[in-house]
Amino acid sequence: MISTSTARICVVGSLVVDLVVWLPYFPRKGETLHPSRFQIFAGGKGFNQAVTARRCGAEASLVGRVGMDAFGEMLFQLMEREAIDGRFVARDPELGTSLGIPMIDPNGDNSIIGIPRANTRLSVQDVRAAQPVVADSHVLLLQLEVPLAASIHAAQIAQGAGATVILNPAPAHLPLEALLPSEMSQAGWIDWLIPNEVEAEMLTGRPVRSVEDARQAARALLACGVRRGVVITLGAQGALAVTQDTEHYAPAFPVTPVDPTGAGDAFCCAFSVALAESRSLEDALRFANAAGALCVTVAGAEPSLPYRASIERLVLSGGKIRSHDSLS
């Protein structure tokens, strides 16, 4: 079994600065609202997942692109603080750092406006330059906030080196067959696919409202060439993992949500770290569910990403969250 100090996670993905507003409700057409609160946080699926990897005890490297601006400098400072290997995060001389504008209502639900900028310029050449860290990882973690060609190239490098490739297909807009070239799906370059219920519905074209719906969607996604398994996260209903031979369901840990931003990223990376440590699928699901649960109890993406000790305490407690657990 790989120890927590040697598990290596490489994330190829987005870096974003979030400008978060808390609203009394989501605005209607033509309406101007004044937020009750405003804060600036680091985020982006790539950045969030790399931070989670470090806080879960793994070594983390990040491949991405930011602008040559104050937002990019902020992200570099945070990567240094978190001890993330950011050598292969490029500075774009023309486009600024990507921005997000999450809007959160009193129930903790959110809508997000994304301004992708530098993330759209992550290239195959950028990934090729990062080949040493991609090939040296135990797990390569990918999402869909950067150009697909860069992610596919990273997956090819990782697969050739024997690493596990995990795709979090977020945000998903098309059926899986259209999203991923058929020849790549048939080659089986994805080991694990981890969508939420909305993404699973978009990828399969079938509604995902229940655990049984998720089971059927997962089977359909497995048929598209996923090598090892599909995990569908279901929010308050928990998560379901399906492989060709088995399945495991893990109920969610009950929490009072404050801000769901980053919860999916925390889940995906915690699951990745657990797999890198050769933990069982059942243990990996519970560990990931606990990470996601802790994340939604704190506002902002980066501040809410949980530490390993807090995740393990929640798993051992059977669901009792202490007020400071996601912060230590």
Q: pLDDT of 248-263, one tens digit each?
A: 999 999 888 877 778 9
More confident residue, 88 or 316: 88
In this prediction, residue 303 carries a pLDDT of: 83
- Confidence category of residue 319, pLDDT binned at 50, 70, 90: low
In this prediction, residue 326 carries a pLDDT of: 44
- Concerning whether 18 is annotated as a catalytic residue, the answer is no
In this prediction, residue 176 carries a pLDDT of: 64
Dist CA 131 CA 154 (whole Å): 8
- Token pair, residue 276, equals 């890198």
More confident residue, 10 or 319: 10
Ranked by mean pLDDT, which of 161-170, 171-180, 319-328 comes out on top? 161-170
Q: Which of 92, 265, 283, 325 is catalytic?
A: 265
In this prediction, residue 23 carries a pLDDT of: 93
More confident residue, 111 or 7: 7
Average pLDDT value for residue range 33-55: 93
Instruction: Specify the DSSP element, H or E, that contains 102.
Output: strand 98-104
CB distance 41 to 302 below 8 Å: yes
Average pLDDT value for residue range 224-234: 91
CB distance 122 to 71 below 8 Å: no
Burial class of residue 236 in the structure, from the number of CB atoms within 10 Å of its CB (0-12 exposed, 13-18 middle, 19+ buried): exposed
What's the mean pLDDT when you consider all of the chain?
89
- Confidence category of residue 175, pLDDT binned at 50, 70, 90: low
Task: Convert the pLDDT of each residue in 77-116 to its tens digit.
Answer: 999 999 999 999 999 999 999 999 988 888 878 788 889 9
In this prediction, residue 223 carries a pLDDT of: 85
In this prediction, residue 172 carries a pLDDT of: 78
CATH class, range 8-14+45-89+124-317: alpha beta
In this prediction, residue 146 carries a pLDDT of: 94
In this prediction, residue 234 carries a pLDDT of: 93
Dist CA 328 CA 53 (whole Å): 15
Q: Is the dihedral of CA 261, 264, 267, 272 positive or negative?
A: negative
Dist CA 16 CA 41 (whole Å): 9
Dist CA 54 CA 83 (whole Å): 7
Task: Convert the pLDDT of each residue in 274-307 to its tens digit.
Answer: 999 999 999 999 999 999 999 988 877 788 899 9
In this prediction, residue 325 carries a pLDDT of: 47
Dist CA 99 CA 47 (whole Å): 13
